[in-house]
């Protein structure tokens, strides 16, 4: 038996919430819930073994073959773009995922970011953060979740307009800005026990919008980017700035009780509530608050129950400053 240098490293990528009301495909914030990969590579150079194990959310459904798993597919994408056609062997990966799948908490964004970091580490490519994001965006074409998951914190981003020729390589495709987030603001994620695939939630959106609806969102988005960093937070300003006319009204067909949850839980009724919206493409509800977390979550759960959604759970999460990491062990 011959042996090569072995490496053991851990990749961690946070969950994220996108849109935050009016910021459809623009705003994202990373949340204190982490997908982790424990990776062992090298050692016995005669071994061609590949082993992928998985615990947590999606353990029953997620495929564990390199060509089918979203994490390893993303890693293979980075490697092949850099002239490496296969994952190095022997390779063992253990995935632990506490992020519910298809619920609007950025599970696919975290998986894509973790996979891109995996490819970078396995190929020893040492890509810059901005190039890593370019690769992420070749896989997940809206920047909000992946930008927040990679960089961490509260982030606004936009995609550059690219020509078809640009798309032949891995173009430099995005710009982002890290925004201020008041640390006293917690994110209550109320998660109903059913999935809405992002692709389906995007398919119900119109292809064009009325001018007044677009202006409604622009006005609120501009205010919200600063309002969430202020101390003390202004609940009236934030609650109204988190209203949206671009995606939530159309997604109510997929999420029973959505309009009622959003309209019935207000700062007047719940001291400490700042705003409430759909998290990402849903069905999770995101409530921002400084206190009364249980009462706010219970109220949302009660409305879901009235609309036939009996099972849901909630988590009180922080917006975390650190994004994704890859650390040698
Ligand atoms: N840890 C993971 N490992 C492998 N595949 C995953 C993992 N997490 C998510 N996925 C894939 O991503 C899909 C969910 O992506 P989708 O974009 O529909 O929802 P989401 O990312 O949870 O929500 P949102 O984008 O609204 O925040 C899953 O069905 C699965 O195919
Ligand atoms: N901005 C995206 C986020 C999906 O996670 C959407 O709402 O479709």
Q: Does 147 lie in the same domain as 14?
A: yes
Task: Say how far apart CA 72 and CA 77 lie, in whole Å.
Answer: 8
Ligand 1 near 108 CB (within 6 A)? yes
| Atom of ligand 2 lying closest to residue 24 CA | 1
Ligand 2 near 247 CB (within 6 A)? yes
Q: Is residue 2 part of a domain?
A: no
Q: Does 107 lie in the same domain as 120?
A: yes
54 CA distance to ligand 1 centroid (A)?
14
pLDDT at 3: 60
Number of H helices, E strands in the chain: 10, 11
Residue with the smallest CA separation from ligand 1 atom 2 is: 111
pLDDT at 167: 77
Q: Is residue 47 part of a domain?
A: yes
Q: Does 218 lie in the same domain as 116?
A: no
Q: Is residue 208 part of a domain?
A: yes
Task: Say how far apart CA 103 and CA 217 lie, in whole Å.
Answer: 23
Q: Does 244 lie in the same domain as 291?
A: yes
Which residues are paired to 315 by β-bridges?
189
Q: Does 285 lie in the same domain as 231?
A: yes
Residues of the chain with pLDDT under 70: 1-4, 45
- For residue 122, give its domain range: 7-179+319-328
Q: Does 169 lie in the same domain as 202?
A: no
Q: Does 201 lie in the same domain as 73?
A: no
Residue among 102, 147, 255 whose CB has most ligand 1 atoms within 8 A, to mutate = 102
Residue with the smallest CA separation from ligand 2 atom 5 is: 280
CATH number at residue 133: 3.30.230.10
The total domain count for the chain is 2
pLDDT at 109: 98
Helix intervals (H) in the chain: 70-81, 107-122, 129-139, 143-151, 198-203, 211-227, 235-241, 248-251, 258-264, 293-306
Where is 210: in which H helix or E strand?
Answer: none
Each residue of 274-325: pLDDT tens digit? 999 999 999 999 999 999 999 999 999 999 999 999 999 999 999 999 999 9
- Relative to the alpha carbon of 247, which ligand is closest? 2
CATH number at residue 207: 3.30.70.890
């Amino acid at each position: 038996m011959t042996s090569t240098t072995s490496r053991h490293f851990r990749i961690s990528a946070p969950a994220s919430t996108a849109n935050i009301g009016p910021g459809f495909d623009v705003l994202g914030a990373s949340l204190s819930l982490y997908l982790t990969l424990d990776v062992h590579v090298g050692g016995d150079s005669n071994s061609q073994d590949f082993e992928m194990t998985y615990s947590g959310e999606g353990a029953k459904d997620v495929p564990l073959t390199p060509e089918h798993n979203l994490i390893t597919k993303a890693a293979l994408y980075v490697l092949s773009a850099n002239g490496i056609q296969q994952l190095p062997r022997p390779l063992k990966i253990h995935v632990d995922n506490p992020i519910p799948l298809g619920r609007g908490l950025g599970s696919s964004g975290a998986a894509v970011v973790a996979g891109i970091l995996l490819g970078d580490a396995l190929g020893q490519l040492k890509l810059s953060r901005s190039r890593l994001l370019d690769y992420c965006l070749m896989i997940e074409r809206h920047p909000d979740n992946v930008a927040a998951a990679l960089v961490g914190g509260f982030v606004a981003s936009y995609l550059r307009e690219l020509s078809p020729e640009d798309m032949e390589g891995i173009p430099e495709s995005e710009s982002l800005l890290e925004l201020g987030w008041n640390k006293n603001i917690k994110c209550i994620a109320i998660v109903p026990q059913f999935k809405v695939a992002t692709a389906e939630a995007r398919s119900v959106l119109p292809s064009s919008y009325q001018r007044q609806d677009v202006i409604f969102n622009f006005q609120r988005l501009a205010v919200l980017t600063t309002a969430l960093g202020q101390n003390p937070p202004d609940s009236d300003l934030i609650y109204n700035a988190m209203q949206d006319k671009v995606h939530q009204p159309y997604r109510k067909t997929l999420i029973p009780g959505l309009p009622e949850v959003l309209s019935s839980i207000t700062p007047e009724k719940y001291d400490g509530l700042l705003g409430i919206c759909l998290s990402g493409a849903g069905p999770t509800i995101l409530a921002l608050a400084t206190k009364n977390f249980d009462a706010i979550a219970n109220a949302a759960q009660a409305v879901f129950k009235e609309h036939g959604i009996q099972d849901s759970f909630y988590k009180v999460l922080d917006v975390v400053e650190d994004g994704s990491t890859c650390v040698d062990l």
